Structure formats: structure tokens, C-alpha cells
Chain A
Amino acid sequence: MDGDGAFSTAFQLIVSGDPTLMQIVSLSLRVTLTALIIACLIGLPLGAALAMARFPGRGAAVVLFNALMGLPPVVAGLVVYLMLSRAGPLGFLALLFTPTAMIIAQSVLITPIIVSLTRSVIEDLWAEYEDQLRSLGSSAMRAIPTLLWDGRFSLVTVILAGLGRAMAEVGAVLIVGGNIAGHTRTMTTAIALETARGDLALALGLGIILLTLTLILNAGAFVSGRVAQQQAA
């Protein structure tokens, strides 16, 4: 297999504006970014609350979320599959093998990452800010939005970790999405399929496009973070 073939395949795919490719790319982005938004809406406040709350079993909760960061995508996919399958508790929703199911599976996968890393960032900030914020009359609850905003530059990295995980994984979306052409096929499932079929140039071409997209998203986050940081320190 030659790399030139892969690069020229990737290049031709992009330049030709192949509608199948565009559909796959846009579905991948839609699933991943929606899952990321859901994971952030849940994970950022939950992680901050976990950083500041003191309750029996807190240590166990921290360990659990840390462990779930290593949740294998296929296991996350399997759990969501069992919930959504015809016989499962949520089977009546008929969501299996839809993009919505893929979003749910990826949300399950990356929420623990956002929770755990946010807890770590906010714990450090709270140690620095606690006396001052309490002195101003802030309750722990009131402090959560303050700390999330003040930790925003570190939290961008947290969110990128979640994004990277969702962009890269194949197991979860494959199980609950089914890799149906034109419906639930994403970049990663397409790469897996093309590799199995032996069209390595196409698989590698898709891989190059996926890497490039990831690079662009990260660069965008990095640059906007830098600009904001220069303005607010």
C-alpha cells in the first residue's frame, strides 16, 4: 500500500465534493458535537459540584467517575444498545440504529471525562478562592458559575479531551448506529468498513480527513483561547 495513493484519494474526495463523503463528515460532526454539548451541560456543573460538595461517599463517586473515563466505547455502546433495543426499557422510543442513539452513546462515553477533569480543575481553583468567595457571602452553589467562568481557559482543554474521545471512537457508534450507509455511517465506521473490504487507500483517505478536521477544531479552540486569555488574563 502506498501513502501517495491515500493522500491523492483524500485530496480527490475533498476536491470533488463527493456527496457521500460530505454526508458522512457532516453526520460525524453533528453526532460528536451534539454529544459534546450534552456532556458539557451535564459534566461541567456536575464536576464543579463534585469538587466542592462534601458528603459521605464522595470519594467513591470520584473514583467511579475516574474509572468511567476508561470506559471502553464498545461497552458504552452495548449498554445503550440494551437500553434501546426492542426488548429494552427504552425500546418503545425506536431509537436504535438512528443518529440519536449514537449521540446518546457518545454522551454516555464522554460525560465522565468532562466530570472528572472538571472536578480536578475546579478543586484547585476552589482551594485558592474559597476564603475570598465565602467572605463575599458566596455559597458553594453560587460559587459554581464563578469558578467555571474563572477556570474557562483550563476547561477548554477538558472539553477538547472529550471532543477527541468522541471524534476518535468507533465501537459505540458502530453498535448503536449499525453503520448504515447514508443513515448512520460516520468517518470512523466507514474507515473500519473500508479497511475490512480491503480498500485501504479510501480508508486512509478518510483517516486523513478525520485527522485534519480534529486538527482544525483544536487549532480553533487554541487560538480563540489565546486571544481571550490575553484579554482577561
Chain B
Amino acid sequence: MTMHGTLSILPLKVSELRFAARGTELIKGISFSLGAGTRTVIMGPNGAGKSLTLRLCHGLLKPSGGIVGWAGPDASGAVKRHAMVFQRPVMLRRTARANLIHALSVAGVPRTDRKARADAALDYFGLTDLAERPARLLSGGEQQRLAIARAWALKPQVLFLDEPTSALDPAATKAIEEMIETIHADGVKIVMTTHDLGQARRLADDVLFLHNGRLLEQSPAETFFAEPKTEEARAFIRGELLW
């Protein structure tokens, strides 16, 4: 539904992407292209550069080298067409609904439309009961569901999720994964990081495997899990190369 009537900003073409902090190169020249429709999961042990890669793609960090290029027909409007969900969502000190209204306000949605769109997003994910609750008093799982509803309300074409369930219990994790499936079914491109192998197997259509700031593999999920090409990926899948 979000894709109807709008041109796509995809594909995302990343070439020779580099990022250094305090003289240490953390992303060491990675290149990949992401097309519409699929759920891309970025995997790798801690310190591989997964989260940095997402932040660079989302524009929160400036690359020290290389290009993050939105190459689709609507590339010029790309800035407002991708949203991000963080490992630990930041909720403002106001009600759940007011948090969505704030995001819509920042996005330039006319004042008269904000409440209806906020309520529609809450309703879509079954969060209407939380609307009047102070967002900061919600449980971690509820806050993360609210964060995803907030991102969805902005009608993104691409949704980046950075370890969205790593701080949550299994029930909350399941609820989040269902939301991701729903959003994917709407036609939104999913790009997420996880170090949870089970989650990657459940959700991934294709996998980017990062290790020490380099991209070692980009393959369809089935291929990646059945026949990993590199020793590092084999070790990671066997559970030997942990975070």
C-alpha cells in the first residue's frame, strides 16, 4: 500500500563505503546493492560494522569515503522515504499517540491530518489501547512496537531496523517479527541487523555477512545458510564466532 502512486527510491547502491572514527577504520570499503521487495538481513559478530552500515545508509553518519546512493526514479526525495528503528527506542515524555503525532509533525504532515494518521498506525498494529498511556512507562516490548508503528506512520519505502529485538523477551520478539512481516507484506523494503541466527533464518530473504568492517558475502538466505562461502561465515553459522 505504501508503494502505490509513488516512485521508488530503490535500488540503494553502496560503493566502496568507508567509515573511520578517531583514526580507526571501522568500515573498510564495502559495496552492495539492495533492490525493492526483499527482507535483507545484515549479519555478523559484534564489531563487524552492522549497526554502522545501517546508520551510514540511513544518513545518521557521514561516510569517510565511498557513496551511499539512492538510485531509483524518486531518489531526490529519498531523505524522507526511509525510516529507522533503533535497538533501544527513544520515546518522548508524552503519550504514545503524542509520540506519533510529533513524528508526523516533524515529517511535515499537516496538523489536521496528524491525529487520524497516528490513530490509524496504532490501530493497524493493535496498539490503540496504549494511545493515552505515557510512552516512557510502557514495557520495553511495547515501546519497541510503538517505535515500529511510529516509523510505519511515516510511510517509508525502506525500513531500517537495528537489532530491534535484542533487548526483548521471546514473546515481545515474536510480536516484533510479526510486525516486520506485516510491513514487508505492504511492500516496504526491510533492512535489519541481527546476531540472532534463528531470527535471521525466519526473516531473511537475502543476507549480507559482515566481518571486521568488510562485506564477506551477499547471497540469498537459503544459499547463505546451506553453503556459506567463507570460513568466517561457516564458523558464525556453527555458532563458533559469536558476538
Contacts and interface: CB of A to CB of B under 8 A. Distances in A.
On chain A, which size bracket covers the interface?
10 to 19
B90 A231 contact: no
B107 A136 contact: yes
A124 interface: no
A142 B134 CA distance: 22
A1 to B, nearest CB: 50
Contact of B136 (A129, A132, A137, A233): A233
A233 B137 contact: yes
A132 B90 contact: yes
**Which DSSP category, helix, strand, loop or mixed, fits chain A's interface?**
helix
A138 B136 contact: no
Interface string A119-163: 000000000110111111110001000100110110000000000
B226 interface: no
Interface in A145-192: 146, 149-150, 152-153
A137 B107 CA distance: 6
A150 B93 contact: yes
B121 interface: no
B134 A136 contact: no
B94 interface: yes
Interface string A206-224: 0000000000000000000
B106 A150 contact: no
A149 to B, nearest CB: 8
A136 B137 contact: no
Given A136-B103, A137-B107, A146-B102, A233 B93 contact: yes
A128 B103 CA distance: 17
A142 B90 contact: no
Nearest to A230: B134
Contacts of B93: 149-150, 152-153, 232-233
8 contacts: A129-B90, A132-B86, A135-B86, A137-B106, A142-B106, A152-B93, A232-B93, A233-B93
Given A131-B90, A149-B94, 13 more contacts: A132-B90, A135-B60, A136-B102, A136-B106, A136-B154, A138-B106, A146-B92, A149-B92, A150-B94, A232-B93, A232-B136, A233-B93, A233-B136
